[in-house]
Chains A and B, each alone.
Chain A
Amino acid sequence: MAQADYLVSDVLGKGEFDWDFRCLDEGLMHLVGPYMAQPSGVTSLFCGALDELGASSEGNTQGALFVEYGHYATLINDYYTFHPEFFGGDISRRKAALLTQLRYAGQHLSNYPRYMLVNDSFALPDRQQVDLHDALSGAAVIQGASRGVLLAWMRARFKSITREQYLQNAINSMHSYIVFPVALALILAGADRPAIKNVRIALAYLAQAMKLLLERETLRQEVFATLAEPTRATLTILSFPGLVFVDQKRSLDAVLENGTGNESVYEFYVAARDIALADSGESARIYDSAIGQGLDRFEATLQRCGILENWGGGLANALRAGSGA
């Protein structure tokens, strides 16, 4: 079935007037294509959890669309929010308009899979359907809150942040990549609400470990500065090494003393890297400790839940082996 026909029959409905599908190429796929070309990997968490839960993969693979499209929408939204031209003074009307068009092409990716809920594609009982809506909407709030806090911290030049505040925002930053996919698998598999709530606590520890692991690897390999756009920008939030500012904050002001006050996340990234490299032994110790703690607590919490233990144990071990934590 042609894409336009499918949109009318299954997604948008006929409408009283005429849809214009000319936007689908130039106004959508042309814009989001470069982001969707990057392999995501986020669906592996969703599918792995589903497997262990014994849920039918046949009936639930459509759920991966929420995870996959949500991932690309998040990348694009982050690309927009942290675009350096927004931080360097006046941005041209044309540039702002083009970025905004991209951002709303990403929004379409985020909203589009909801047609499956409207069409009752998962044939869920009311409680599970409500929980799925809840998980999607809650994830949007957490994602926005984490980016908002990071923006506020950038404006305050990362002053007066506690370690706890940093770690919780790291968890929130990773919510749509770590917590949401597995929570979605649990909902589709029919897990009860208390069980889902407990597993989400375990997943928060995993999100902490994953965020810090990304930070450490980014610092260690210095890959961030060598990445091409849009990959570099879209990974900014995931890999931004802010823990350095919290645990080695002594030198931030010195690094930024010549700053303009309009620093984008890239300038802060360079500052963090310089601080970390100035005492690389201390940086490694800080990260190893926090990553190891996150993985240990993830595994222990899952064991207490009595659900997804094998999946979680295997994941934690693989991450330990790969990271040296």
Chain B
Amino acid sequence: MRDEQQVLDNMPASLASFYSHKIAMVRTAIADYLPTSIDAAFFECVTGEQPLYDQDYAAMYASIVEPTQEYLAASGKVLRPILAAIVLEAYGTHSDRMGSFLGAIEVMEDSSIMMDDYIDNSGLRRGIPCAHIAHGFPLANIASCTGFALSHYVFYRNVHGFSESKARRLLDAVAWEHVQMAYGQLEELYWTESDVNNVNESQYFQQVIARCAFLSFRGPLHYAAIIADGPRTDLPTLTRLGEYLLLGYHIKGDDLDMSPDSPAWGKIAGEDITTGRRTLLINHTLAVANNDDRVTIERIIASRTEDEEEKKLVYNLILKYKSFEHTREIAVRFHEKCYGCIDSLQVDGGHKTLLREFADFAILKRRV
């Protein structure tokens, strides 16, 4: 478990207070969402299927739940459930009564980063070996996609007992996010595997939104607003807010991958180069570099190298062309857009402050 005080120390005051007040409840909700063993009742609950015979529940648990539990135990900052809790309360719903929903959001996060890890063939996550390293690609694939499906049982089994109309709105919203996510994944993997070197910034932003906004942060904002019966006129604004928050946060994450500012990052520096990812940093450098430097970057990125000297060469070219400065400016622009969205939401001043501080923390202050 990461040092909670360290997280709080980096947070603006109101957000830190909210976080301190809610974090124990949120962590309990996360721990309670997935069982510590599977039995017939849980299986029937999450599948709607009545087994005809006894099953090997121990093998089932070990293969579809345990790897996600390992990620949950390594515990991140749980920002997404906290954001969802802010929105629930902003629209008048006590977040403590929506524990399963908040727990589900973090299970969604951890099962999907397990996917990201084997997609990127990463080595470490939060300081522990990634699931495909610990258990092999086949089990990481099965555990992550099934864990991800399980993270949604709060919606499709209507755990909180919402009206059918609300349950449907939530499920339709989830389905929309899944369509977007799968297409964004296609785009990114195509760029990577086909070594596409002419991705413009607009295409990059749309891809990031499509691939990641289901979780960071559009999805949780949407779901919380629907659950809390927030005004429908706020939904388009929440959509944009979630997307701008994501873009600022993601751009900062790409920068951190190249130049982590803390050993607690728990990942290997320059992994995006080894994976062949066309991040905003890389795309910007490719766009503005002279021909020789561009050829050098393209060669190294295409080689999928793990060589530190080669990665440093790319890093130095990124510095040379001031790409860090460029991406930081963009992140700041998205941060400003977040403020614009927050100002127009129909929520009270206190919750607007919390949302602004969340944007500050997620974008401007993102460290680990």
Identify the A interface with B (CB < 8 A).
7, 11-12, 15-20, 22-24, 26-28, 77, 80-83, 86-87, 91, 93-94, 96-101, 103-105, 107-108, 110-112, 114-115, 117-118, 126-127, 129-130, 133-135, 137-138, 140-145, 147-149, 151-153, 156, 161-162, 164-165, 167-169, 171-172, 175, 179, 197, 200-201, 204-205, 208
Distance in angstroms from A288 CB to nearest chain B CB is: 19
User: 13 A-B contacts, Cβ less than 8 Å apart?
Assistant: A16-B205, A97-B193, A97-B304, A103-B141, A107-B145, A114-B179, A126-B168, A130-B167, A133-B155, A135-B48, A141-B149, A151-B142, A172-B55
Do residues A22 and B206 form an inter-chain contact, with CB atoms below 8 A? no
Distance in angstroms from A181 CB to nearest chain B CB is: 14
Do residues B136 and A140 form an inter-chain contact, with CB atoms below 8 A? no
Q: In the complex, which residue of chain B has the Cβ closest to the Cβ of A204? A: B52
Do residues A18 and B203 form an inter-chain contact, with CB atoms below 8 A? yes
Contact of A129 among B59, B168, B207 (CB under 8 A): B168
Distance in angstroms from B163 CB to nearest chain A CB is: 8
Do residues A19 and B203 form an inter-chain contact, with CB atoms below 8 A? yes
CB neighbours of A140 from chain B (8 A) = 145-146, 149
CB neighbours of B171 from chain A (8 A) = 117, 129-130, 133
Given contacts A104-B119, A145-B64, A16 and B137 within 8 Å (CB-CB):
no
Do residues A16 and B206 form an inter-chain contact, with CB atoms below 8 A? yes
Distance in angstroms from A100 CB to nearest chain B CB is: 5
Closest 3 CB pairs of A and B: A144-B146, A27-B190, A148-B63
Do residues A20 and B199 form an inter-chain contact, with CB atoms below 8 A? yes
Q: In the complex, which residue of chain B has the Cβ closest to the Cβ of A106? A: B182
Total B residues in contact with A, Cβ cutoff 8 Å: 77
Distance in angstroms from B46 CB to nearest chain A CB is: 5
Do residues A98 and B193 form an inter-chain contact, with CB atoms below 8 A? yes
Distance in angstroms from B269 CB to nearest chain A CB is: 17
Is B20 on the interface with A (CB-CB < 8 A)?
A: no
Do residues A201 and B50 form an inter-chain contact, with CB atoms below 8 A? yes
Is B186 on the interface with A (CB-CB < 8 A)?
A: yes
CB neighbours of A156 from chain B (8 A) = 59
Majority SS at the chain B contact face? helix
Given contacts A104-B189, A111-B182, A175 and B146 within 8 Å (CB-CB):
no
User: Which parts of B173-199 form the interface with A (CB within 8 Å)?
Assistant: 174-176, 178-183, 185-187, 189-194, 196, 199
Identify the B interface with A (CB < 8 A).
43, 46-56, 59-60, 62-64, 118-119, 121, 136-139, 141-143, 145-146, 149-150, 152-153, 155-158, 164-165, 167-168, 171-172, 174-176, 178-183, 185-187, 189-194, 196, 199-200, 202-203, 205-207, 209-210, 240, 243, 274-276, 304
Do residues A12 and B54 form an inter-chain contact, with CB atoms below 8 A? no
In the complex the two chains form, what is the Cα distance from A197 to B121 in whole Å?
41
Given contacts A18-B200, A20-B199, A86-B138, A167 and B53 within 8 Å (CB-CB):
yes
Do residues B52 and A168 form an inter-chain contact, with CB atoms below 8 A? yes
Distance in angstroms from A247 CB to nearest chain B CB is: 15
Given contacts A129-B171, A144-B146, A138 and B59 within 8 Å (CB-CB):
no
Do residues B209 and A17 form an inter-chain contact, with CB atoms below 8 A? yes
CB neighbours of A161 from chain B (8 A) = 56
In the complex the two chains form, what is the Cα distance from A205 to B168 in whole Å?
31
Do residues A27 and B187 form an inter-chain contact, with CB atoms below 8 A? yes
In the complex the two chains form, what is the Cα distance from A171 to B185 in whole Å?
31
Q: In the complex, which residue of chain B has the Cβ closest to the Cβ of A208? A: B52
